[in-house]
A and B are shown apart, each in its own frame.
Chain A
């Protein structure tokens, strides 16, 4: 093994690099006056309460949370039957749809965004809020698809076999065996899609950028007119949401396995 001080020191440096901008933003967000000073002068939580009390920030927050909640739900609704079908049936052609589900995530996002822009504009629905829900659901369907596929792969087929031998049909097996076993994967898929949708900019901007202001769009628009501590507060608020959601996923699910590590026993 490499000497411990090298390992710890190197990991600490990476931690510093990852944390530094967030520490500065957190410091800036508690300035007493409307300035971006670091270290902050005075202390105030006004900029955090502004997110909820100022109309424009609050409506952006509601737009973002609503969009994320709905689009993540739709993404799961699309991914679940597909993942189940791929697990239950021998159907090589269905792999095409698995590829289609993963593709939006592998391509540069601007491509998917431009595709949606031309699609909704051609259909005459450009700017309708629900178009953003569908766009985000397709854009992030990869996440529940991957977590659910892992979930199905983890089901011991002999359990299903046993249930079928006792006379359970597909629907009953699904309800009594499959659903309880894949629920953690379903929830993680939803959580991943929710957090990423909350933070997504380009697809939202190209579909509803001129009619609905989500928080990332609001921050970017506000950047042009100068920086305010409220933006810093919103940024920290988002980091905290992400950390809480992923912390919960780790608490109730198997995070290393979700991220591709096979073994789940302690090293």
Chain B
């Protein structure tokens, strides 16, 4: 049965339900959010339809500038750490037998699907004074007495790298699995060391994939909203945390919506860049 264009109404019937669901429950909420970002905020958490730019004007404050630049730098640090850690790992993984690969994939998916709440709780336990890793250091004689390693920037960064690492590996995995093994074999035959083959063949061949992965992990890290709260201090709050805080606790929906619109624009621009760089048709595959 060849693929044919849909002509009659009954041909279109199957697509109507999913299309309606996506339009009503994704496009319309999105539109409402954009509209709310221009609304006038009233006292007591309400807002009235209007067209004001004051919510966007608040972006010009030094407070917002500080949060934005911290979020971007943090996400960048997470992306670089994750790709540097994940790339050799994924490469080694693809050299293993299928059975070993599957076992790892199950483990990686299990960690990836963990709630941010659970990751935050797990790392705050690991960094705590009573149950934490510092007890191990004391036992090894590296430390005088157990100390709490949080809240702090190091804890936030570690937690976010933990959250994003399985994602990074799974994004890199398809490209590395499909890497032509004959390329490396050829370099070996010509006398290149394995290390040289890795840096001169594998990395250049996958340069675009690496850049695309960096951007995708960056966007992923931008979305982290609980780890900075659980593992960090208020100065470690990111844009995602600030949006939640404004929407729920400060009841300032218009400002929260304006920040969300801004975050969408950054993310979409970056995802668009990924498509250009990667030239890949299917981002999620």
Shortest beta-carbon distance from A205 to chain B in Å: 8
Set of chain A residues within 8 Å of B257, measured between Cβ atoms: 114, 118
List the B residue with the shortest CB-CB distance to A142: B284
CA distance A24 to B6 in the complex (A): 56
CA distance A243 to B28 in the complex (A): 36
Is B83 interfacial (CB 8 A cutoff)? no
Q: State whether A104 and B110 are in contact (beta carbons under 8 Å apart), knowing that A38-B135, A90-B3, A114-B247 are contacts in the complex.
A: no
For chain B, residues 1 to 39, give those with C-beta under 8 angstroms from any C-beta of chain A. 1-6, 11, 14-15, 17-19, 21-23, 25-30, 32-33, 36
Is B189 interfacial (CB 8 A cutoff)? no
Q: State whether A78 and B29 are in contact (beta carbons under 8 Å apart), knowing that A201-B117, A202-B225 are contacts in the complex.
A: no
Are B284 and A81 within 8 A (Cβ)? no
Is B177 interfacial (CB 8 A cutoff)? yes
Are B125 and A78 within 8 A (Cβ)? no
Are A108 and B121 within 8 A (Cβ)? no
Are A114 and B11 within 8 A (Cβ)? no
Set of chain A residues within 8 Å of B126, measured between Cβ atoms: 20-21, 24
Is A225 interfacial (CB 8 A cutoff)? no
Set of chain B residues within 8 Å of A114, measured between Cβ atoms: 33, 243, 247, 256-257, 260
Is A239 interfacial (CB 8 A cutoff)? yes
Are A21 and B15 within 8 A (Cβ)? no
List the B residue with the shortest CB-CB distance to A197: B113
Interface 0/1 of A249-264, CB less than 8 Å to B: 0100001100111110
Is A146 interfacial (CB 8 A cutoff)? yes
CA distance A110 to B2 in the complex (A): 42
Chain B binding surface SS class: helix
Q: State whether A239 and B92 are in contact (beta carbons under 8 Å apart), knowing that A110-B260, A114-B33, A201-B226 are contacts in the complex.
A: no
A118 contacts which of B26, B29, B173, B223 (Cβ < 8 Å)? B29
Set of chain B residues within 8 Å of A73, measured between Cβ atoms: none
Is B195 interfacial (CB 8 A cutoff)? yes
List the B residue with the shortest CB-CB distance to A88: B3
Q: State whether A146 and B285 are in contact (beta carbons under 8 Å apart), knowing that A10-B92, A109-B223, A260-B173 are contacts in the complex.
A: yes
For chain B, residues 250 to 285, give those with C-beta under 8 angstroms from any C-beta of chain A. 253, 256-257, 260, 263-264, 267-268, 271, 282-285
Are A206 and B122 within 8 A (Cβ)? no
Shortest beta-carbon distance from A262 to chain B in Å: 6
List the A residue with the shortest CB-CB distance to B116: A201
Are A160 and B1 within 8 A (Cβ)? yes
Is B137 interfacial (CB 8 A cutoff)? no
CA distance A14 to B130 in the complex (A): 25
Are B114 and A28 within 8 A (Cβ)? no
List the B residue with the shortest CB-CB distance to A79: B18
Is A122 interfacial (CB 8 A cutoff)? yes
A37 contacts which of B22, B33, B131, B133 (Cβ < 8 Å)? B131
List the B residue with the shortest CB-CB distance to A113: B244
Interface size class of A (residues with CB under 8 A): 35 or more
CA distance A220 to B188 in the complex (A): 53
CA distance A39 to B177 in the complex (A): 40
CA distance A235 to B230 in the complex (A): 16
Are B95 and A7 within 8 A (Cβ)? yes
Are A261 and B102 within 8 A (Cβ)? no
Is A85 interfacial (CB 8 A cutoff)? yes
For chain A, residues 201 to 259, give those with C-beta under 8 angstroms from any C-beta of chain B. 201-202, 205-206, 209, 215-216, 219-220, 223, 227, 231-232, 234-235, 238-239, 242-243, 246-247, 250, 255-256, 259
For chain A, residues 95 to 150, give those with C-beta under 8 angstroms from any C-beta of chain B. 97, 100-119, 121-122, 134-135, 137-138, 141-142, 146, 150
Q: 17 new A-B pairs (CB below 8 Å) besides A81-B17, A246-B109?
A: A11-B92, A24-B125, A28-B125, A35-B130, A36-B130, A90-B5, A110-B260, A111-B267, A141-B22, A150-B285, A196-B113, A209-B248, A219-B115, A219-B117, A242-B114, A243-B110, A247-B106
Residue positions of B touching A, CB distance < 8 A: 1-6, 11, 14-15, 17-19, 21-23, 25-30, 32-33, 36, 85, 88-89, 92-93, 95, 97-98, 101-102, 105-111, 113-126, 128, 130-133, 135, 162, 165-166, 170, 173-174, 177-178, 194-195, 198, 219, 222-223, 225-226, 230, 240, 243-244, 247-248, 253, 256-257, 260, 263-264, 267-268, 271, 282-285
The 6 closest A-B pairs by CB, nearest first: A260-B174, A108-B223, A119-B29, A38-B131, A21-B122, A115-B29
User: 30 A-B Cβ contacts within 8 A?
Assistant: A2-B195, A7-B95, A14-B165, A18-B166, A21-B123, A22-B111, A38-B131, A82-B14, A85-B18, A90-B5, A90-B6, A107-B264, A108-B219, A115-B26, A115-B30, A117-B247, A119-B32, A146-B282, A161-B1, A196-B113, A201-B117, A215-B115, A216-B117, A234-B118, A239-B110, A246-B105, A260-B285, A261-B174, A262-B174, A262-B178
